[in-house]
Amino acid sequence: MKSESEKKRKVLIGLGSNIGDRIENLRKAISFLDAEGVEIVKVSGLYETEPVETDEPQPPYLNAVAEIITNLPLTNLLDLLEEIERKLGRRSKGDKKPRTVDLDILWAEGEQLESERLKVPHPRLWERAFVLVPLSEIVDELDGKSVSKAAQNLANRKQIRKVAESQWFGEKKETKVI
């Protein structure tokens, strides 16, 4: 019998990039996850947003959400995400500086975790349009709450613009920007 940490379950990952070739950075992050045996189930379209909670002006972010299936314990998944961030040029975690890629565990099926290093579900999940709007393409509800209603409420107050449909992450080709 498999232990809890060995069971495959759905995990939602937030992706963001605001320097370099932003689309290619996000494509590579998804490709690295796939290469590590993480099953990519769905990826939202791409949304452009202004940076939040920053001390200095920065370029806009491209954001997306991916639904994955994995049996990795959440701390091991976090290690993998941080390794991918480093491979793609991220220098430090926790600062509010521009970044080639930012990968966050947003939610995990049947799991909650609160440690110094990781909180799941993500503590600001329901406060961020740049997470909720792409997330609403993946799921209707999360933990009994309507994602689309929460996304609509925040999107009305925040600048968020869809720039590509969900096929953007596939093989490198011209991304149809809308």
Which of 130, 133, 107 lies closest to 120, judged by CA?
107
Within a domain: 176: no
Within a domain: 174: no
Average pLDDT over residues 125-144: 93
For the chain, the domain total comes to: 1
Among residues 104, 117, 143, 161, the one annotated as catalytic is 104
Which of 142, 158, 153, 169 lies closest to 12, judged by CA?
142
Which of 51, 30, 57 lies closest to 41, judged by CA?
30
Domain housing 15: 4-169
Tell me, what CATH number does 134's domain have? 3.30.70.560
Give the pTM: 0.88
Within a domain: 178: no
Within a domain: 175: no
Is 99 designated active site?
yes
- For 77-93, the pLDDT digits (tens) are 999 999 999 999 987 66
The bridge status of strand 145-146 relative to strand 160-164 is unpaired
- What's the pLDDT score for residue 170? 67
Would you place residue 178 in the very low, low, confident or very high pLDDT band (cuts 50, 70, 90)? very low
Residue 161 near residue 47, CB atoms below 8 Å: yes
- For 102-115, the pLDDT digits (tens) are 999 999 999 888 88
Among residues 22, 27, 90, 128, the one annotated as catalytic is 90
Among residues 99, 117, 124, 157, the one annotated as catalytic is 99
